[in-house]
């Protein structure tokens, strides 16, 4: 059948483009996810991230993003670094060690869509990576790639959770993977107990308004809340605590994607180096890094918050 051949080709191309895992699901409206998202938003767990309430219908219905959508292709790309920061330095989440993943993965999605159009035919499609109204973790589960852990991350049974998730929605009928069955967190509470700000709730809900990543990246206020003082565990940009303690990440292996090679400054800077960093140097060193998202003023704010009594 054509669907089988097309599916084989697409999964082959994703490997060639550097994606680690690929799953495909039938494009349908995500009614259950819509209800969960609505409840989460109504409880104010998005904090000041007002954009998460925008385009609600687009988030739960792929046909609103690609008219006539038939398939949702979900792709995982490993970003786990081979090297770590010096232990006494202000901490940066591992996803931000290398180049901005939005740019890296967006380019690969464009290449994938071009391959589909060249070799299969006129296919309408749109690629998304993190910055668009797509419930990518739900699609990852529906396409058989893993389950949602207590910490809100999608966990792959053989490879852990240090992955970027990308989505390509197309109006092409394909062979669909079986949804992932089961939840392998069991009775484990390591991420709940380790979260410095108690943002991870027992019922598989993460209060985004209490997450260190929210405070250090998303929150644009000049001042961070006093009640969080002393709770950041030296995290200056993002947080990996819940992933570090997750038993499934014992399977994590270093990424082979050269674009995610760590910026030397991230590995080598001491606290003093960060404190002495000028705005001009910041712009030059991190011009291709996700760290630029919080801007120089954000880094200075975060640094003061974790270093000053």
Digit-coded pLDDT (tens) for 221-255: 779 999 999 999 999 999 999 999 999 999 999 99
CB-based burial label for 264 (10 Å; 0-12, 13-18, 19+): exposed
pLDDT tier at 1 (50, 70, 90 boundaries)? Answer: low
Task: State how far the Cα of 186 lies from the Cα of 146, in Å rounded to an integer.
Answer: 14
93, 238 contact by CB (below 8 A): yes
Q: Tell me what pLDDT residue 203 has.
A: 80
List, for residues 45-89, the tens digit of each pLDDT value: 545 555 555 555 666 789 988 999 999 999 999 999 999 999 999
pLDDT of res. 30: 84
Rounded to whole angstroms, the Cα distance separating 120 from 172 reads 10
- The torsion region of residue 48 among left (phi > 0), alpha (psi -120 to 50) and beta comes to alpha
SS3 breakdown of the chain: % helix, strand, coil, rounded to 5?
45, 15, 45
Round to whole Å and give the CA distance between 58 and 210.
Answer: 26
Determine the 3-state secondary structure of 186 from DSSP.
coil
pLDDT band (50, 70, 90) for residue 220? confident
**In contact, 294 and 277? CB cutoff 8 Å:** no
Distance CA 261, CA 268 (A): 14
Burial class (CB in 10 A: 0-12, 13-18, 19+), 158: exposed
The pLDDT assigned to 189 comes to 97
* Count of alpha carbons within 13 angstroms of residue 102, beta-carbon side: 9
Mean pLDDT of the chain: 92
Cβ-based neighbours of 3, under 8 Å, separated by 6 or more: 173, 174, 175
Residue 48 bears catalytic tag = no
Per-residue confidence (pLDDT) for residue 45, from 0 to 100: 56
Distances (CA, A) of 121 to 17, 62, 78, 95, 124: 20, 21, 30, 35, 10
* Cβ pair 78, 163 in contact under 8 A: yes
H or E, element range at 200: strand 200-201
pLDDT digits (tens, 9 = 90+) for 115-162: 999 999 999 999 999 866 678 999 999 999 999 999 999 999 999 999
| Burial of 191 from C-beta contacts in 10 A (0-12 / 13-18 / 19+) | buried
Instruction: Give pLDDT tens digits for 251-263.
Output: 999 999 999 999 9
216/44: higher pLDDT: 216
C-alpha–C-alpha distance, residues 40 and 63, integer Å: 23
Does residue 169 or residue 51 have the better pLDDT?
A: 169
Q: Is the pLDDT of residue 40 over 60?
A: no
177-205 confidence digits (pLDDT tens): 999 999 999 999 999 999 999 999 988 88
Q: Is the pLDDT of residue 39 over 70?
A: no
Catalytic hit among 48, 61, 130, 273 = 130
Pairing of strands 91-92, 235-237: parallel
pLDDT at 148: 95
Instruction: Provide the sign of the torsion angle of the four alpha carbons 283, 287, 291, 295, taken in this order.
Output: positive
What pLDDT is recorded for position 113? 98
Beta strands in 27-109 (DSSP E): 71-78, 91-92
């Amino acid at each position: 059948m054509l669907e089988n051949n097309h599916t084989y080709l697409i999964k082959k191309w994703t490997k060639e483009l550097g994606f680690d895992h690929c799953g495909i699901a039938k494009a349908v409206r995500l009614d259950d996810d819509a209800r969960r998202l609505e409840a989460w938003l109504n409880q104010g767990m998005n904090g000041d991230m007002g954009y998460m309430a925008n385009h609600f219908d687009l988030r739960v219905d792929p046909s609103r993003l690609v008219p006539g959508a038939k398939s949702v292709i979900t792709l995982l790309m490993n970003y786990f670094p081979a090297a770590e920061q010096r232990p006494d330095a202000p901490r940066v989440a591992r996803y931000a060690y290398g180049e901005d993943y939005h740019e890296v993965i967006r380019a690969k999605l464009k290449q994938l869509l071009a391959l589909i159009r060249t070799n299969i035919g006129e296919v309408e499609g749109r690629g998304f990576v993190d910055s668009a109204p797509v419930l990518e973790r739900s699609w990852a589960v529906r396409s058989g790639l893993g389950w949602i852990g207590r910490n809100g991350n999608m966990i792959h049974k053989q490879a852990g959770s240090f992955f970027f998730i990308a989505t390509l929605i197309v109006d092409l009928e394909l062979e669909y993977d079986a949804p992932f069955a089961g939840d392998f967190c069991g009775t484990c509470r390591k991420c709940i107990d380790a979260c410095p700000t108690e943002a991870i709730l027992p019922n598989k809900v993460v209060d985004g308004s209490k997450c260190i990543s929210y405070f250090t990246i998303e929150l644009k206020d000049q001042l961070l809340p006093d009640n969080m003082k002393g709770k950041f565990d030296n995290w200056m940009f993002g947080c990996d605590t819940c992933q570090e303690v997750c038993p499934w990440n014992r399977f994590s292996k270093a990424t082979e994607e050269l674009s995610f090679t760590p910026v030397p400054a991230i590995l080598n800077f001491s606290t003093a180096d960060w404190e002495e960093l000028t705005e001009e140097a910041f712009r030059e060193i991190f011009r291709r890094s996700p760290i630029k998202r919080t801007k120089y003023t954000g880094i200075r704010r975060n640094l003061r918050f974790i270093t000053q009594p």
